[in-house]
C-alpha cells in the first residue's frame, strides 16, 4: 500500500482550539477534553495537537520535533543538524504507553539555533534558512521527519484517536497560552505518523477540517516558490500558502483571508472604490492561492491564532468567548465541555476571518 505522500488521501476531521489573550498558560488537559467530545469525527487514524508558549525557558531557540524511523536515520539526521545548527539541548520527547497508540517511531526534540557561519554563507534570513533545512531533512533523509520547527511551540501528533494521542504525549503536563487539536478521518489508512495533523512549518501550524477542490492548482503554484508538498495533504499546502503570503510576501492575515477565501466578484463589485481595488488586486495577483471546496482551518502562529472557513462555509465552525479566553471548534459541544458559561457564542460566516492575538503583541 502506498504511504502518505505517494498518494493523496481525502479526510474528514474535527478541529478545536483555545487561546488566552492575556497569555495565561494553562495545562493541555482542557484541549484533550474538548477534542474527545468529537470522537466520532475521527476514526483512529490520526490525531494531534499544536501548543504555543510551552517552552519559555528555550523560547529563543527553534524547537524541532523529529520522528526517526530507526537509529540510522537518527544518526544521519543529527549529523545534518550538527553541520547546520548549534544544538542547545536534545532529548527524547516524554511519552506514556497507551494501548491506543502503537508503532511509535523514535520521537526526539532538539532546541537549535543556526550556526552563524552557515547562516551567513547561505545568504538567507534566519527563518528561511531553518525552513530550507527542514525541507532538506524531510525530503532527503529517509526515515527522519521534522513535524514541528517553530519557537516556543510544538506539534505532538500520532496515528490514533486524538484524546489517546494527547495522553500518550502527556500533554496535560505542558502549559501554554494556545492549543489546537485535530482528529482525523482519512478514507483509507497509510498509518504514518507524519501524515497526522496539525501540520507545521516554523511558527505556523494548521489544523484543517475539509477537503479542498483546488488542491492541485494550489500545490503546483506553491511548489514554484520552493516548497515541496511531500504529504499531498490539504493541510500541508495551506500551511505553505500561509507561510508564503505572510512571511515571504508580507501580507496581513486579513489580506491572506481575502486571498484564500476571497469574496465573490459580485460582493467585490458592490464595495467602495478603494476597497474594491484592493480586493481586485489581491484576487488577481494571488489567483493561484484561492482555495475552493470545504475547509475550516485553525492557524496557530507565534502570538496568535486565526480561524477561517471556505467562502461558502461548507464546514461547521463555532467560536465561543469567555473573559480572556477564545475557543474555536467544529462543534459547540466541544467548547461547552470545557467552558459552560460562555459570554458569546457565534458562527463565523464563510470567508470571515477570526483573529486573536496576545494583548501587547508576541512575547
Partner 1 sequence: MAIRYIYSEYEVSRNTDRCIVCRVCERQCANEVHTYLPEQNKMTADESKCVNCHRCVSLCPTRALKIIKGNNTYKENANWSNKTMNELYRQADSGGVLLSSMGNSENYPIYFDRILLNASQVTNPSIDPLREPMETRVYLGSKAVKIERDEKGRLKNNLLPHLKLSMPIMFSAMSYGSISYNAHESLARASEELGIYYNTGEGGLHEDFYPYGKNTIVQVASGRFGVHKAYLNQAAAIEIKIGQGAKPGIGGHLPGKKIVGDISKTRMIPEGSDAISPAPHHDIYSIEDLSQLVYSLKEATEYKKPVIVKIAAVHNVAAIASGIARSGADIISIDGFRGGTGAAPTRIRDHVGIPIELALAGVDKRLRDEGIRDQVSVVVGGSIRSSTDIVKAVALGADCVYIGTAALLALGCHLCRSCHEGKCNWGIATQVPELLKRLNPDIGYKRLVNLLTAWRHEIEEIMGGMGINSIESLKGNRLMLRGVGLNEKELEILGIRHAGE
| 211 lies in the site for partner 1, by CB under 8 A | yes
Stretch that binds partner 1, among 76-84, 146-154, 250-258, 298-306 (CB under 8 A): 250-258
Considering only residues 230, 278, 316, 362, which one is a binding residue for partner 1 as defined by CB under 8 A? Answer: 278
3-state SS string over 56-122? HHHCCCEEEEEEECCHHHHHHHHHHHHHHEEEEEEEECCCCCECCECCCCEEEEEEEEECHHHHHHH
Taking the C-alpha atoms of residue 124 and residue 198, their distance in angstroms, rounded to an integer, is 27
Q: Which residues inside 55-74 make contact with partner 1, applying CB under 8 A?
A: none
CB of 15 within 8 A of CB of 182?
Answer: yes
Number of residues interacting with partner 1: please give it, by CB under 8 A. Answer: 46
Between vectors from CA 235 to CA 232 and to CA 237, what angle results, nearest 5°? 60
Residue choice 250, 272, 273, 361 for contact with partner 1 (CB under 8 A): 250
Residues labelled as active-site residues? 13
**Which of these, 50, 133, 36, 106, lies nearest to 300 by C-alpha position?**
50
Identity of the residue, 33 or 278, whose beta carbon is nearer to partner 1 in the bound complex: 278
Report if residue 241 touches partner 1, rule: CB under 8 A.
Answer: no
Question: Is residue 2 near partner 1 by the rule CB under 8 A?
Answer: no
Residues 174-193 that bind partner 1 (CB under 8 A): 187
Closest CB 50 distance from partner 1, rounded Å: 24
The residues near 136 (Cβ < 8 Å, ≥ 6 apart) are 80
Q: What is the DSSP string of 133-146?
A: HHHHHHHHSTTEEE
Q: What residues form DSSP beta bridges with 300? A: 205, 305
308-337 footprint of partner 1 as x/- string (CB under 8 A): ---xx-x-----------------------
| Of residues 211, 251, 42, 239, the one with CA closest to residue 138 | 239
Please report whether residue 288 would count as binding partner 1 according to CB under 8 A. Answer: yes
List the one residue from 282, 297, 335, 354 that touches partner 1 (CB under 8 A). Answer: 282
Positions touching partner 1 (CB under 8 A) are 8, 10-12, 187, 210-218, 220-221, 223-225, 249-251, 255, 262, 264-266, 274, 277-278, 281-288, 290-294, 311-312, 314
Amino acid at each position: 500500500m502506498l504511504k502518505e505522500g505517494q498518494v493523496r488521501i481525502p479526510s474528514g476531521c474535527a478541529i478545536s482550539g483555545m487561546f488566552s489573550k492575556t497569555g495565561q498558560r494553562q495545562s493541555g488537559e482542557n484541549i484533550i477534553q474538548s477534542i474527545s467530545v468529537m470522537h466520532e469525527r475521527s476514526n483512529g487514524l490520526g490525531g494531534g495537537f499544536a501548543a504555543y508558549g510551552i517552552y519559555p525557558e528555550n523560547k529563543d531557540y527553534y524547537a524541532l520535533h523529529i520522528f526517526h524511523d530507526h537509529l540510522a536515520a537518527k544518526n544521519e539526521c543529527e549529523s545534518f543538524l550538527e553541520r547546520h545548527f548549534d544544538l542547545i539541548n536534545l532529548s527524547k520527547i516524554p511519552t506514556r504507553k497507551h494501548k491506543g497508540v502503537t508503532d511509535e517511531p523514535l520521537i526526539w526534540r532538539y532546541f537549535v539555533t543556526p550556526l552563524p557561519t552557515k547562516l551567513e554563507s547561505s545568504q538567507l534570513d534566519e527563518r528561511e534558512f531553518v525552513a530550507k533545512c527542514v525541507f532538506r531533512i524531510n525530503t532527503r533523509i529517509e526515515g527522519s521527519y521534522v513535524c514541528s520547527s517553530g519557537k516556543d511551540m510544538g506539534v505532538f501528533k500520532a496515528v490514533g484517536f486524538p484524546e489517546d494521542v494527547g495522553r500518550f504525549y502527556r500533554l496535560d503536563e505542558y502549559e501554554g497560552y494556545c492549543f489546537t487539536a485535530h482528529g482525523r478521518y482519512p478514507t483509507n489508512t497509510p498509518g504514518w505518523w507524519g501524515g497526522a495533523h496539525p501540520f507545521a512549518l516554523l511558527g505556523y501550524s494548521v489544523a484543517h477540517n475539509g477537503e479542498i477542490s483546488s488542491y492541485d492548482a494550489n500545490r503546483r503554484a506553491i511548489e514554484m516558490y520552493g516548497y515541496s508538498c511531500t504529504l499531498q495533504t490539504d493541510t500541508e499546502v495551506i500551511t505553505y500558502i500561509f507561510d508564503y503570503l505572510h512571511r515571504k510576501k508580507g501580507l496581513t492575515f486579513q489580506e491572506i483571508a481575502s486571498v484564500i477565501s476571497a469574496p465573490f466578484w459580485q460582493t467585490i463589485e458592490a464595495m467602495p472604490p478603494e476597497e474594491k481595488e484592493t480586493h481586485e488586486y489581491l484576487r488577481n495577483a494571488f489567483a493561484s492561492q484561492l482555495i475552493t471546496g470545504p475547509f475550516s482551518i485553525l492557524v496557530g502562529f507565534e502570538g496568535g491564532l486565526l480561524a477561517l472557513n471556505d467562502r461558502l462555509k461548507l464546514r461547521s465552525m463555532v467560536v465561543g468567548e469567555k473573559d480572556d479566553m477564545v475557543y474555536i471548534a467544529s462543534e459547540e459541544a466541544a467548547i461547552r465541555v470545557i467552558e459552560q458559561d460562555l459570554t458569546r457564542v457565534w458562527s463565523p460566516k464563510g470567508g470571515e476571518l477570526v483573529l486573536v492575538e496576545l494583548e501587547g503583541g508576541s512575547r
